[in-house]
Structure 1
Amino acid sequence: MYHTNSNITLTEDLDTVVWKYLDLSKFLDLLMSRKLFMSRSDKFEDQYEGTFSEPTFEEIKRLSKDNPDFLKFYKTHREKVAISSWHINEYESFAMWQIFTQNSEGLAIQSTIGRLQQALAPENNYKQYIGEVNYIDYKKEYIPFDDMFFPFLFKRKSFQYEREVRIITDVADSTITLNDGLKINIDINQLIEKIYIHPKSENWYKNLVIQLVKQLDFNFTIEKSDLESDILI
Structure 2
Amino acid sequence: MYINNPNIKLPNDPNTIVWKYLDLSKFLDLLLSQQLFMSRSDKFEDQYEGTFSEPTYEEIKKLSEHNPEFLKYYKSQREKVVVSSWHINEYESFAMWQIFTQNSEGLAIQSTIGRLQKALEVEQNYKQYIGEVNYIDYKKEYIPFDDLFFPFLFKRKSFQYEREIRIVSDVSELGLQIDNGLKVHVNINHLIEKIYIHPKSENWYKKLVIELVSKLGYDFVIEKSDLESDILI
- What TM-score bracket applies, with the shorter chain setting the length? over 0.9
Q: Which whole-Å CA distance do the structure 1 matches of 2:103 and 2:120 have between them?
A: 32
Asked if structure 1 preserves the Cα contact closer than 8 Å seen for 2:51 and 2:151, the reply is: yes
CA deviation after TM superposition for structure 1 residue 103, in Å: 2.1
- Whether 1:156 and 2:119 are equivalent positions in the alignment is no
- Which one-letter code corresponds to 1:203 in the other structure? N
- Whether 1:192 and 2:188 are equivalent positions in the alignment is no
Q: Which whole-Å CA distance do the structure 2 matches of 1:123 and 1:52 have between them?
A: 30
Please report the TM-score for the alignment, with normalisation by the length of structure 2: 0.97
1:174-189 pair list within 5 angstroms: 174-189=174-189
Q: Which residue in 1 is equivalent to 2:16?
A: 16
Q: Which residue in 1 is equivalent to 2:126?
A: 126
Alpha-carbon displacement from aligned partner over 1:42-71 (angstroms, at most 9, x marks no partner):
111001011000001111111111111111
Which sits farther off after the overlay, 116-125 or 22-31? 116-125
Which sits farther off after the overlay, 185-194 or 204-213? 204-213
Q: Which residue in 1 is equivalent to 2:78?
A: 78
Aligned with 1:65: secondary structure? Answer: coil
CA deviation after TM superposition for structure 1 residue 130, in Å: 0.3
- Which one-letter code corresponds to 1:75 in the other structure? K
Aligned with 2:143: secondary structure? Answer: coil
Alpha-carbon displacement from aligned partner over 1:168-206 (angstroms, at most 9, x marks no partner):
011122133211001000000000000000010011211
Point out where structure 2 has 5 or more consecutive residues left out of the alignment: none
- Which one-letter code corresponds to 1:134 in the other structure? N
Point out where structure 1 has 5 or more consecutive residues left out of the alignment: none
Aligned with 1:121: secondary structure? Answer: helix
Q: Which whole-Å CA distance do the structure 2 matches of 1:218 and 1:126 have between them?
A: 26
Asked if structure 1 preserves the Cα contact closer than 8 Å seen for 2:126 and 2:184, the reply is: no
Q: Which residue in 2 is equivalent to 1:105?
A: 105
Q: Which residue in 1 is equivalent to 2:93?
A: 93
Q: Which whole-Å CA distance do the structure 1 matches of 2:210 and 2:108 have between them?
A: 14
Cα distance change on mapping 1:201 and 1:187 into 2, 3 Å: same
Cα distance change on mapping 1:123 and 1:20 into 2, 3 Å: closer
CA deviation after TM superposition for structure 1 residue 124, in Å: 2.4
Aligned with 2:128: secondary structure? Answer: strand
Aligned with 2:26: secondary structure? Answer: helix
Please report the TM-score for the alignment, with normalisation by the length of structure 1: 0.97
Alpha-carbon displacement from aligned partner over 1:129-170 (angstroms, at most 9, x marks no partner):
000000000010000101100000000001111100000011
Instruction: List structure 1 segments (4+ residues) > 2 angstroms apart after TM superposition.
Output: 121-127
- Which one-letter code corresponds to 1:98 in the other structure? Q
Q: Which whole-Å CA distance do the structure 1 matches of 2:78 and 2:102 have between them?
A: 29
Cα distance change on mapping 1:122 and 1:205 into 2, 3 Å: closer
- Whether 1:2 and 2:2 are equivalent positions in the alignment is yes
Asked if structure 1 preserves the Cα contact closer than 8 Å seen for 2:120 and 2:185, the reply is: yes
Aligned with 1:218: secondary structure? Answer: coil
Q: Which whole-Å CA distance do the structure 2 matches of 1:102 and 1:201 have between them?
A: 12
CA deviation after TM superposition for structure 1 residue 75, in Å: 1.3
Q: Which residue in 2 is equivalent to 1:37?
A: 37
Q: Which residue in 2 is equivalent to 1:228?
A: 228
CA deviation after TM superposition for structure 1 residue 232, in Å: 6.6
- Which one-letter code corresponds to 1:65 in the other structure? E
Asked if structure 2 preserves the Cα contact closer than 8 Å seen for 1:126 and 1:173, the reply is: no
Aligned with 2:121: secondary structure? Answer: coil
Asked if structure 1 preserves the Cα contact closer than 8 Å seen for 2:122 and 2:186, the reply is: no
Q: Which whole-Å CA distance do the structure 1 matches of 2:197 and 2:122 have between them?
A: 30
